[in-house]
Structure 1
């Protein structure tokens, strides 16, 4: 199985801690954050990764090369910042399999069971499946609203809901055919979360929501980075 990891961000909010490194290489107990991601998904059967990289990408290439613990590693290099959507489209062209593929954020770790999300994706005949976690406050991540059948109805920065609040966990399962119409958007900057996903919903695509109770870790802010050190080194020192 293949996975695209979106690892091209500048990580400006984390510069006070890792000023000389791309954010995915932020050290957690002397091990790059990206290594925890790769280890976790390799252990579940992912055997090929395409890394969407930009800022100081050579340091990532030098660290992981073209093979890592038996998995193939390829790179889609942004010559200018393309955003999460642009980086995804650029990386999509390097996929080899017609099967559903994973999309992972390079600065978040979400404990999602691959077998379970694949099963739901297949059973729902989904075009795309979003991993979700429950939150008490939706101001930071925004809320994903599901219909009674578990499909995504809407998403945004904030929604007033009477039920559970679910946030996007940054682990996606996608059918490769969904991005064919964006083939002529190469090298154009766009956002996966704010542009591509809403567009799929407007097109009435079947976007399923997969709820996981696993650990969710975001290293985007210094205080969260410090929490990540404790959780990852203790529970995921693979």
Structure 2
């Protein structure tokens, strides 16, 4: 079964980008004449996503006009955080509104041109709790590295530091919603630190390499760069 439903994490405070975009959530930052998140939803609708759950928090009112214009016929719902829940808490709350067994998890400030059909097939083949899309990079220090075993199961997450090369977590996941909701997890937690990186031996966490365009606009340098790379988003 193809993945047809996506949760977009769009409630972050965006503190690192605030010098460039002071008045908006970072995923609503303008790129060309549209908010960044519009390119994200356009892309994944083309890939086959039929329903979006927007996990909102900080300055959630900024999304109202965008959602009306982007989804005039519906096809979305909102999971609103009354207080910051962390990425894990936000996903857990949004999962209560999901309808599919497997959901796609996206970060609203990241564009990663993944092959959704390949991710769906991989996730199903591995009977994974969660499948990560991994981007190969060279000469970087902004991201940690993910190491896989011979079966593509995640065996280690390495901390952020300089690496001459490696696979990074691209922030796009296929998640088995039912298994995730059965986990004994707190109300507020980090999906990355408290779910993905803990007790790896007990969870079926796998990684699939996807060598396609990737950008995270969370810092001003990359936000400036995306203005000249709009063609990659179309």
- Name the TM-score, length of structure 2 as normaliser: 0.91
Please report how far the alpha carbon of residue 147 of structure 1 lies from its aligned counterpart in structure 2 after TM superposition: 0.3
Please report how far the alpha carbon of residue 71 of structure 1 lies from its aligned counterpart in structure 2 after TM superposition: 5.7
Please report how far the alpha carbon of residue 156 of structure 1 lies from its aligned counterpart in structure 2 after TM superposition: 3.1
Q: Deviations over 1:27-73 (max 9, x none)?
A: 00011000011000000110101011101101113321396275611
Cα distance in 2 for partners of 1:9, 1:161 equals 27
Q: Deviations over 1:131-171 (max 9, x none)?
A: 00112245321010100111111113148999x61100010
Note if 1:193 corresponds to 2:192: yes
Note if 1:127 corresponds to 2:129: yes
Instruction: Give 3-state SS (helix, strand or coil) of 2:97's partner.
Output: coil
Cα distance in 2 for partners of 1:184, 1:125 equals 21
Please report how far the alpha carbon of residue 123 of structure 1 lies from its aligned counterpart in structure 2 after TM superposition: 1.8
Structure 2 gap ranges (5+): none
* Residue equivalent to 1:153: 155
* Residue equivalent to 2:177: 176
Moved over 3 A (4+): 158-162, 182-185
Note if 1:234 corresponds to 2:231: yes
Kept in 2, the 8 Å contact 1:139–1:157? The answer is: no
Please report how far the alpha carbon of residue 80 of structure 1 lies from its aligned counterpart in structure 2 after TM superposition: 1.0
Cα distance in 2 for partners of 1:83, 1:184 equals 12
Note if 1:20 corresponds to 2:18: no
* Residue equivalent to 1:75: 78
Return closer, same or farther for 1:13/1:150 CA change in 2, 3 Å cut-off.
same
Return closer, same or farther for 1:12/1:69 CA change in 2, 3 Å cut-off.
same
Cα distance in 1 for partners of 2:85, 2:41 equals 23
Aligned residues: 231
Instruction: Give 3-state SS (helix, strand or coil) of 2:198's partner.
Output: helix
Kept in 2, the 8 Å contact 1:83–1:189? The answer is: yes
- Name the TM-score, length of structure 1 as normaliser: 0.90
* Residue equivalent to 1:144: 146
Return closer, same or farther for 1:20/1:126 CA change in 2, 3 Å cut-off.
same
Cα distance in 1 for partners of 2:39, 2:163 equals 34
Cα distance in 2 for partners of 1:119, 1:148 equals 18
Cα distance in 2 for partners of 1:102, 1:145 equals 22
Instruction: Give 3-state SS (helix, strand or coil) of 1:144's partner.
Output: strand
Cα distance in 2 for partners of 1:160, 1:146 equals 19
Kept in 2, the 8 Å contact 1:89–1:183? The answer is: no
Cα distance in 1 for partners of 2:162, 2:99 equals 41
Please, which moves more after superposition, 190-199 or 29-38? 190-199
Cα distance in 2 for partners of 1:66, 1:39 equals 12
